[in-house]
Amino acid sequence: MTPAEWKRKAVHAGFGLFAFTLRWLDWRVAAAFALAALLFNAIVMPRVGRGIYRDPAASRDAGIVAYPAVVLFLILVFSGKYVSIAAAVWAMMAFGDPAAAIVGRNVGGPTLPWNRDKTWAGLLSNWAVGGAAALAVFLFVTRRAPEVSGTAILLVGAAIFAFLESVRAGIDDNIVAAFPTALAVYQMSLHWPPPLLRAGEIGWGPLSLALAVNAVAAAVMGLSGIVRRSGALAGGILGFLILAFGGWAAYALLWTFFLAGTLATKLGYRRKTTLGVAQADAGRRGAAHAVANCLVPAALTLLGVRSIAFVGAFAAALADTLGTEIGTLYGRRPFSPLTLRPLAPGTPGAISLAGTAASLVGAAVVAAAGAGLGLVPPGLAWAAMLGGFLGALAESVLASIGRPFLFRLDHEFANALNTFLGAMLALRIAGPGAP
């Protein structure tokens, strides 16, 4: 690490010490201070603080601006009695991230299979230091004595945060990790322990059946060549989790997405190949694709989030798949969803009328299946459909925003983001009374 990077990490951690002040500050005052920090980093730092920029020639440093922006967002969302969650996740950001960088770069060691630029040592340091800091800040802000459940929630949250920070995203990792982690901590604080930690209540019989069913499915999918072997393995693991902890209805919805998405990929494959827009390897998808589309729904199941979110996540996944596959095949005039100006075929973020219509149909298919399987009431299927459709459209919007700002979302991360946004939007649209 360079001297500038050491200074950068020191500032990063030093700003996190202000999380302790949430013990006394009203959330409105704290939000005002966070806004002031954001304005300072965006306007003043380019003139006085380029010494800690990763690229001193850049007009602004995305991470330095994103950090206070995320803190502000956390305080605004988790205001009032939940401000301690904002404080705890702020501590993960402030101390876990520098620990990961320092240990990862100076100790090294084996790299992560999903991101060769980061190491297991850095990931574990992020979790250990971030978890300890979050616990210390949470106990101080809430004036509570340590409790087993609260400690466990924050340690699980820190593990989620460390994993999300390790993902290759294409945007600043503060933006990627903090808000989903805060939502997970909030969910676990409402329902503890989550289904993941109640495996004993399910029983060995159902768990063994779920394992056997998915082992057979993975073997058939892999050996038949429908998906790559890595995709079969990852799909089998995710399918096991969804079946074991979500039940047969949730598992059937997973297969609804997979079968419809596979058919859409195969549709007109020769023509897509000629156009240069076909999925590689004859449309056989690997582990990265399985994780990108199914990890969020699986995580929602393991955390016990309401099933409307699960349906919304898969609605977004199929909406995105159909929008891409049908849009590249039949879309005649791609355009930007923000400016409506024409774009070249294949431009990231470009949409077409045919693709948008197919996306809406994909979201509707999953929402209808979710209602038919009893995962959501028929009267709320529209909320899952709309949430999924908007979640899928968000990728195009973000890609359009990213072009002038010179950032581009990683493809697999964008797919996972679609499912996350679809789930959150479905929850929001359906309201608190939805199952």
Residue range 135-161: mean pLDDT, rounded: 95
* Domain match, 280 and 327 both: yes
Query: Is residue 408 domain-resident?
Result: yes
Domain boundary (142, 164, 190) is at: 190
* Domain match, 348 and 279 both: yes
| Amino acid in the structure at residue 374 | G
Res 209: pLDDT: 96
Domain boundary (142, 157, 190) is at: 190
* Domain match, 184 and 229 both: no
Identify which of 338, 362, 357, 358 has the alpha carbon closest to the alpha carbon of residue 349. Answer: 338
pLDDT in tens, 370-397: 999 999 999 999 999 999 999 999 888 8
Res 169: pLDDT: 87
Residue range 213-242: mean pLDDT, rounded: 93
* Domain match, 158 and 208 both: no
Q: Could you tell me which residue, 284 or 127, shows the higher pLDDT?
A: 127
Domain boundary (139, 169, 190) is at: 190
Residue tagged 């729904």 (tokens): 297
- Tell me the residue range of the domain where 321 lies: 201-430
* Domain match, 125 and 171 both: yes
Query: Is residue 126 domain-resident?
Result: yes
Query: Is residue 82 domain-resident?
Result: yes
Q: Residue 63 above 90 pLDDT?
A: no
Q: Residue 407 above 70 pLDDT?
A: no
Distance CA 334, CA 351 (A): 5
Q: Where are the alpha helices (DSSP H) in 143-286?
A: 148-166, 173-190, 199-202, 204-224, 229-246, 248-266, 269-275
* Domain match, 109 and 184 both: yes
Residue range 313-335: mean pLDDT, rounded: 88
Neighbouring residues of 96: CB distance < 8 A, sequence distance ≥ 6: 125, 126, 127, 129, 130, 131, 133, 158, 161, 162, 165
Residue tagged 């209540």 (tokens): 201
279 confidence band (pLDDT: 50, 70, 90): low
Query: Is residue 22 domain-resident?
Result: yes
* Domain match, 162 and 225 both: no
Q: Residue 81 above 80 pLDDT?
A: yes
Query: Is residue 164 domain-resident?
Result: yes
pLDDT in tens, 178-211: 999 999 999 999 988 888 888 778 888 999 999 9
* Domain match, 184 and 244 both: no
Distance CA 362, CA 314 (A): 9
- Mean of pLDDT over the chain: 89
* Domain match, 168 and 232 both: no
* Domain match, 48 and 94 both: yes
pLDDT in tens, 86-140: 999 999 999 999 999 999 988 989 999 999 999 999 999 999 999 999 999 999 9
Res 56: pLDDT: 73
* Domain match, 123 and 48 both: yes
Query: Is residue 242 domain-resident?
Result: yes
Q: For residues 292 and 256, is the Cβ–Cβ distance under 8 A?
A: no
Q: What are the distances in angstroms from CA 10 to CA 98, 121, 136, 164?
A: 8, 20, 19, 22
Residue tagged 């070249």 (tokens): 344
* Domain match, 208 and 340 both: yes
Residue 191, phi then psi, degrees to nearest 5: -135, 90
Query: Is residue 381 domain-resident?
Result: yes
Q: How many domains does the chain have?
A: 2
Helices vs strands, H then E, count in the chain? 19, 2
Query: Is residue 195 domain-resident?
Result: no
